[in-house]
Each structure stands twice: as C-alpha cells, then as structure tokens.
Amino acid sequence: MSNEIVDDKSEHCVPFILERIKLHGDSYKGRGEAPPPFFIGLNGVQGAGKTTLVETLKETLSTGHGLPTLVFSIDDLYLPHEKQEELAKAHPNNPLIQHRGQPSTHDVELGRKLFQSLADRKPNIKVPSYDKSAYSGAGDQVPEQKWPTVNSDPAKPIEVVLFEGWCVGFRALDDAAVEKKWRTAKAQADSDAGDYKGRLGKQKLESVLFVNSRLRDYDVLTDRFDAFMLVDAEDTLYVYDWRLDAERKMKKAKGSGMSDEQVVNFVNGYYPAYELYTDVLRNGIFQDEKGKQLRLNTDPPPSSQYSSSTYLRPPFPKDSPSAQAMKHLDLDGHDLPPSPAPSSPSNGRKYALATELHNASSTPIYQSATFKGGPGQEYDYTRSGNPTRTQLERHLAKIMNANRALAVSSGMGACDVITRILKPGDEVVTGDDLYGGTNRLLTYLKENSSIIVRHVDTTKLETVKAALTDKTAMVLLETPTNPLIKIVDIAGISAAAHEANPQALVAVDNTMLSPYLQNPLDLGADIVYESGTKYLSGHHDLMAGVIAVNNAALAERFYFVINSTGCGLAPFDSWLLLRGVKTLAVRMEKQQTNAMTIAQFLEARGFKVRFPGLKSHPQYDLHWSQARGAGAVLSFETGSVALSERIVESTRLWGISVSFGCVNSLISMPCVMSHASIDPATRKERALPEDIIRLCVGIEDIADLVDDLSQALVRAGAVRLTDDGFVALDVNESGRTTQVVDQP
C-alpha cells in the first residue's frame, strides 16, 4: 500500500451511503413494497478526486457489499455535436452556450428516461456515452449501438445508481437572486482594484438568466436523488490549470482535443455556474429531510499544483482499521501497485499511455524453475507462476485497459488457450480474411473437435447477425484484417453477439494495432489477444502471446489451461517483452508515419492500396471511430503474380519475411508465405488476391524506404515511366489474367 494513494474521502462516504441505503430499504419494507434502486448524486469541483472516489465507491459497494452499482456521469448526457451546434447558432450572442458545459447543453430527457428505466429495473438498459475527444475536443455523443448495457442479468439488477458530475445537484435560483449575484460580480469586475478572478461579472445578464432558466429542467434528475454528496473546495480557480493539463493528456492519448485557447474559453463558459450555485449546494439541495447530504472539504491546491498528494489528506496508516477496510487486492490476490510503474494520480487525471508504457521499472529476471518454501506460498514452480511474468502481466493489464492479462509463449499459443474452452457442438463465427495460423487452428478444431466454424464477411454487420444463433459460443475477430486490411465494427458485433447469446464471448485479435492504437475491451469485446512477437516487442527477438480480459472467472479458466499445458511465457522472454513495451509508443508513431507516406506514394502512382489511413479506404470512418491510428501494415496489388514476385525479389532494404511489427521494414506475398496454409480454393472463395503484396513498415529513414521501393518497382517492370516519374501499369500492360486468384 505504500506506493498507492488511498482515496481517504471514501472512509466518510461508505458509512453514509450504507446508512442511507438501509433507511431507504426500511421505508419501503414498512409499506410492504420492494425498494427501487438507490440514487446518489455526487458533485465535485473538477480535479477534486471525484473520478477516483466514484471508482472506489463502485468497487466497495459492488464487491464488498453485494450491491451492483452503476456509475454514470452527467457528461455522458451532453447534446450530440449537431444539436450543440444548433443551440449555439440559435443563441449566437450568448458565449456561455457556444460549446458543451453549462446547464442547457445536456439532453435532460435522455437522462430522465434512463433514470426511469433503472428505477423500473428494466432489462438490458442502454447507458449513454460521450466522446469528449471527437471534433477536435468539441465532443460528440457515442453512437447508441456502442453504449454499454446494464441489467443484462435479471438476477443481478443495478441496486445503486451513482450520478456524478461538476454541475450535478445545481438548483436554479429565482431571477432576482441571479441578478443580485450578477450585479455584485459585475461591480467587482468593473472596479479598478483588479482583484476579481471570476467570470460571472464579465457576462451579460441575459446570458446568465438563460442558463438559469434551463437549469430548472434539471430538477427532474435532482429530485430523483435519495442522497447527495458534495466534494467541495474553498478555491476553485485552479480548474483552469487542471483542465489544461487534462486536455493535453487526452490529446496525446487520443490524438484529438482542444487547443489551450479553446480550453480557457471552455472553462470561461462554465465557471460562472460555480459562482452562482455553489452556495446552493453548500446549503443543501433537499428541503424535505435533513441528513441526506454529505459535504466533504478538500484542501485547495495552489495554482498549477493539482497532483493528488497536494490536496488529498495523507493516506491513513497501513495497519489502521480504515486502511484494512479499504485494502485492495487484485485478481491475483496481490496487495501491490497495479504494475511495476507508478500508477496514474488518483485525482481524476490519468497518465497518457505513452507515459505508462515507458515508465515501467526494470524487473529482475527470476530465471528459476522452482522456488523454495512450503505449501501455500505464492510461487513454487515457474509453470504455474514466476515473479518476472507476474510483473509483465500486471503491466500489460494496465496498458490494455484490462483487469487481468496472461502471457504465453506465442500469439497462436494465446489463440489456442482461448479456443480450448470451446466444447463439441459449440459454434464459432469468424471472418473470411484471417491470419493463416488462426485459420489453420480453426480448421483443426472443426475437423477433430466437432466445433462448428462459420466464416463470414465480418465487415458487414448484418451478415454477422445472420450467422449468430443462441448456440454461438464465440465470435473471433481481427481488425484490421490481414492482409486485406478490412475493418470490423467491434462494438456493433459485440452487442449483436451478446444479444444473440448473452454467454457468447467476443475475442479480438488486436495484433495489427496494439493497445497503443486500439482497446477492444473498451468497445464491448470480452477478450483481446495479441502476438507479443509483433509490436509489443518490436524487435523480433522473442516469441510471446498475450490474453487480456475483465471477467475474473474467465481469466481463471484461461489460467487453468496455461498452468495445465505449461505454455506460460518464460522468465527471460517476459523480461524482454517488458523491455520492448517501453518503446512501443515511439516505435508506433514513427512506423505509422512512415506507412502513411508509403501508402500515399503508391496510391498516387495508380496502385490499389489497402490502408485505413487513406481516406479512399471504404471503412475509413469506422476505423477512426474505434482506433487512434492507422497502424503500419498496408497491402497493394499489381494485377500479376509474376510481377508481384519480381517486385518482392527486387527490394534490398525491405526484408523478405513473414510477420510484422518489427523496427525493420518487411515485404511479403501472403498467399505464398504467411497465408500459404489456406488452400487455393478457399483463398479464391474469400477473394484473396494471389498477387497481393504486404508491406510491414519499420522505422528506417522514409526517403530510403521510398527510394528502395521505387527502384524495385522499376526493376520489376511494374511501372511505366513518365515525364513526372512513373505510374503503375494498367490492366493490359501488367498482363493481368482473367482471375488473379486462379494463378498458382
């Protein structure tokens, strides 16, 4: 616990909540009625540790007290981008509503319907979600098909709803009170003293009155609360610096967000609400009953100093009753930090993934097969567990946004572990453009284990839905696919699979993008797996596979297979993978930048190029809705197998090899190399062109890569010289056969 900041506010909140829940239940039982879910409102000034608090409360209530808890933010009720723009255009002279933030920029009716559905314990309730990084930080509502679902298990409906946000609980004032506060603030803003730091006095009265009038609509949500908690701070001006830092982190993680100037204008837009309504919160939002509200004060941080250690009280002593009550054991039973690296601060900020990646400490190599000691000790035999592998798995779980990760001896080893939980008669739905090794394994299971395997075009959601049945046990996806670079709608297929069979497992091979660019678990998948040989390692000096899940029981099933078969990753390879992961961010950035240049170079010269970074890709929008980058694998076609062979053989800098993800650039023809195990007839059926060339772009100088590829195209006779350089041969010039897939 010494390396983990304990959120000390929870020791006050948990007893308060449990007491109110008991009174809530007793009041209904006294009337002979079953109590509805318990609704809690939580308001906290931004950066005051609200996010960490609600996560702690959710875990404590759900796990420690058996009360399934939903945490929902008012931010997820923001208007869709289009409606926000309509609101802004309808009131062009009101700067407070030119972007999301203030009351009036939320879809209150959507929140009311959600609250009512939760109160009625309806099954399979969709919970709205909002992407703040969309539209360069302006934000947009996530499509409904990607919203998470609650109450999918009728036996475990949501019992506690924790509704949090910076303006939750605000109550509208009468117009006279608003005008009085505004005039006081305006007088201070207009004075020559220069000590007025707020924003209310710099707004027009009619702008403020408009927001106040719209706030009355929010009472339909506030009146639902059975209890309310306020995380208060005497000085709130630090939110400007906190918000600037948070936005910069989000831009680095997602590649999109607001500029510093936009952030300042954004905070200017909502800061007047703090000045108007904070007193309302402090005086209590309930008029009918005392004791339903808890107020917690945090020590205000100095400007620009908002790390959790600055303004959260120190953790209580490790051996104190409070610390023992809040002790956190991970899924492995360890009371340790979540990885070898320091965790993100607990005040709501989160380190960017690039920081988490390289910040892992160097772990010792426990190059031992056995460990001395008696029964019950954590480690006894490396097949069952090894300290070096444990540190790797903990670190991978963090960067893959998973509760648990497991490391095995290869990527196909990971796929094998996942499919070993299938039983005879189970149905698997998967793609028609799969890695050759995956296709080989599924074919073996179909022929020898009575597993039913359905290959469909997973780029078409309706086609996938048609293949799903209540017997579908697993959906196995790749995105982007290899080598046709097709994009699969992870969220849409996950939702469809779980609707067809709530017990179905959606597994996504994320090797082509790595956790740096895509997180399938966040999109509704149950399992994500990767070949650690590729981007995670980055140097092709080890073989490794990784499995990551959120479900503890599922993780145990996979661990049982790993322990039984002995396919866990060896200590030295675990150490190598830990080392490789540190440079994942810098490698991926360089590789996908190079790949984009290569893709544009080939497309500009007339080749058919498959790469999700190009706007010509038919699923460009889908890809960028679920990923943060295009990756560094692309493919192109020439029209002739013989021509493609000459191109591959003519390169010098591009190495001819299977695999990808290495810092070195590689070139290959999948149909005779990585996908050769798929028979020609099947390749033809799945429209896999025999002439396709796959490029796996490395970190070399881009001018050298382009030059080498240019010379190979010329030497192979794949281009026609022009005054401006060269272009790809047309169909007749390349000698394309009637059907390329018929060529041997």
Residues classed as catalytic: 383, 435, 509, 534
Q: Which two tokens mark 17?
A: 């909540």
C-alpha distance from residue 194 to each of 179, 197, 237, 273 (Å): 22, 8, 16, 21
The answer to whether the beta carbons of residues 458 and 452 sit under 8 Å apart is: no
Q: What is the 3-state secondary structure (H, E, C) of 417-444?
A: HHHCCCCCCCEEEEECCCCHHHHHHHHH
Q: Cβ contacts of residue 129 below 8 Å, gap of 6+?
A: 76, 141, 142, 146, 147, 148
In sequence order, what are the beta bridge partners of 655? 666
d(CA 460, CA 473): 20
Count other C-beta atoms under 10 Å from residue 722's C-beta: 9
Count other C-beta atoms under 10 Å from residue 603's C-beta: 17
**3-class DSSP state of 542:** coil
Q: Which two tokens mark 492?
A: 């849409």
What own/partner pairs with CB < 8 Å and gap ≥ 24 does 107-114 have?
A: 107/77, 107/78, 107/79, 107/80, 107/83, 108/77, 108/217, 108/218, 108/220, 108/221, 110/77, 111/74, 111/77, 111/220, 111/221, 112/220, 112/221, 114/72
Count other C-beta atoms under 10 Å from residue 253's C-beta: 19
The answer to whether the beta carbons of residues 635 and 483 sit under 8 Å apart is: yes
Q: Which two tokens mark 403?
A: 């509760």
d(CA 174, CA 704): 70
Q: Which two tokens mark 92?
A: 């062009």
Dihedral of CA atoms 598, 603, 608, 612 in degrees, nearest 10, equals 60
